[in-house]
């Protein structure tokens, strides 16, 4: 499941007959898919040698016709199966169809599964692993993101300090697509000067709700209750959805709890990121937070998030009143044993 092996194939022009692309980093998934497509598909004969089948109700007869028909004036024919769900919950007919074809795919076919939902224990997943190449596109490590941001900004003949790249990453929505959008804003905003400063990030970049919730947890951790409620009121003014804020609070408290337990078990930061499916710079924050919150506090906070969420959805409480009450509880309860 290595991107490096895929890079080697792209460089050498020798391709597998079956690929499975999956993972949360959509930017890289789309980038490498485009690279593969450009190498395999001749644009002059694209209408004959390229087809996309998308969704969970794909016409398998059309797929079969595509597999069985030869490429036109080309070595390969590319068929893309996108977000089919067959690696998560396939129907019986889909299992039978793909078990048959994946075991004996014609040499002229380049079959690419481009998926969101994956069960690595499934028979189809393991069949693709045996017959082709699986590439998982995970959120990148912080150091890799920092280097990538620097390369992108340098390509525009701009400069930015490393600490400001970290600041940018901490405040963007997760994922390279979101980060690239914020970089584009900065490039446009700083068009008349070479250097990008932290104040430029504050001026034009959209701070994610997740970033605001993180900052609120930071304030809780530091006993800065004035800042905690300032951030809460800012989100109210911006009309951030209360249910989303509570969901993020619950998710982050849960993440902090998982990291606290894994650290106690001696698991490394890199392995923690893989285990809990979070970006490395998020795990770094969780590690910092885990030192300031007890297991009991985190369990109680998660439980209260679930209860408040239920009260809001059942119309027992006004949403902002309920959220304010939750933050008061989180602020006043003992955080360490």
Go through the domains of the chain in sequence order and give each one's CATH number.
3-136 (3.40.50.300), 142-204 (1.10.8.60), 209-332 (1.20.272.10)
What average pLDDT does this structure show over 235-258?
91
Q: pLDDT by residue (tens digit) across 120-167?
A: 999 999 999 999 999 999 988 888 899 999 999 999 999 999 989 988
In percent, the amount of the chain with pLDDT more than 90 equals: 70
Contact yes or no for 124/98 (Cβ under 8 A): yes
pLDDT number for residue 212 = 84
Is 192 exposed, middle or buried, given 0-12, 13-18 or 19+ CB atoms closer than 10 A? exposed
DSSP state of 223: T
For residue 96, pLDDT beyond 90: yes
Contact yes or no for 125/86 (Cβ under 8 A): no
For residue 302, pLDDT beyond 60: yes
How far apart CA 69 and CA 77 sit, in angstroms, is 9
For residue 94, pLDDT beyond 90: yes
Identify the bridge partners of residue 110 per DSSP, sorted by sequence position: 78
Contact yes or no for 335/221 (Cβ under 8 A): yes
For residue 30, pLDDT beyond 90: yes
The SS3 call for residue 190 is: coil
- pTM more than 0.85: no
Q: pLDDT by residue (tens digit) across 164-207?
A: 998 898 888 779 999 999 999 999 999 999 999 999 999 999 88
What average pLDDT does this structure show over 211-220?
85
Contact yes or no for 21/135 (Cβ under 8 A): yes
**Cβ neighbours of 180 (radius 10 Å):** 14
């Amino acid at each position: 499941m290595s991107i490096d092996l895929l890079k080697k194939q792209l460089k050498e022009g020798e391709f597998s007959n079956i690929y499975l692309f999956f993972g949360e980093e959509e930017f890289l998934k789309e980038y490498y898919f485009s690279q593969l497509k450009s190498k395999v598909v001749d644009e002059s004969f694209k209408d004959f040698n390229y087809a996309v089948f998308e969704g969970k109700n794909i016409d398998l007869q059309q797929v079969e016709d595509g597999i069985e028909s030869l490429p036109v004036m080309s070595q390969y024919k590319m068929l893309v199966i996108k977000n089919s769900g067959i690696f998560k919950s396939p129907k019986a007919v889909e299992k039978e169809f793909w078990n048959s074809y994946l075991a004996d795919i014609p040499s002229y076919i380049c079959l690419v599964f481009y998926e969101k939902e994956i069960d690595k224990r499934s028979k189809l997943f393991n069949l693709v692993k045996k017959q082709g190449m699986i590439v998982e596109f995970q959120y990148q490590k912080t150091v890799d993101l920092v280097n990538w941001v620097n390369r992108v900004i340098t390509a525009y003949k701009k400069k930015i300090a490393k600490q400001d790249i970290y600041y940018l990453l901490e405040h963007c929505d997760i994922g390279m697509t979101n980060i690239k959008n914020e970089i584009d804003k900065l490039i446009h905003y700083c068009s008349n000067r070479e250097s990008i400063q932290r104040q430029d990030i504050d001026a034009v970049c959209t701070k994610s709700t997740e970033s605001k919730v993180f900052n609120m947890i930071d304030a809780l951790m530091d006993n800065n209750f004035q800042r905690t409620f300032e951030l809460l009121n800012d989100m109210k003014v911006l009309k951030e959805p209360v249910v989303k804020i509570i969901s993020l609070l619950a998710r982050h408290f849960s993440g902090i709890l998982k990291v606290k337990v894994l650290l106690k078990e001696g698991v490394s930061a890199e392995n923690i990121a893989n285990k809990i499916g979070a970006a490395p710079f998020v795990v770094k924050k969780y590690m910092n937070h885990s030192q300031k919150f007890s297991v009991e506090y985190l369990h109680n906070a998660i439980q209260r998030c679930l209860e408040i969420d239920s009260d809001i959805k059942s119309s027992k409480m006004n949403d902002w009143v309920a959220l304010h009450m939750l933050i008061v509880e989180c602020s006043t309860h003992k955080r360490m044993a």
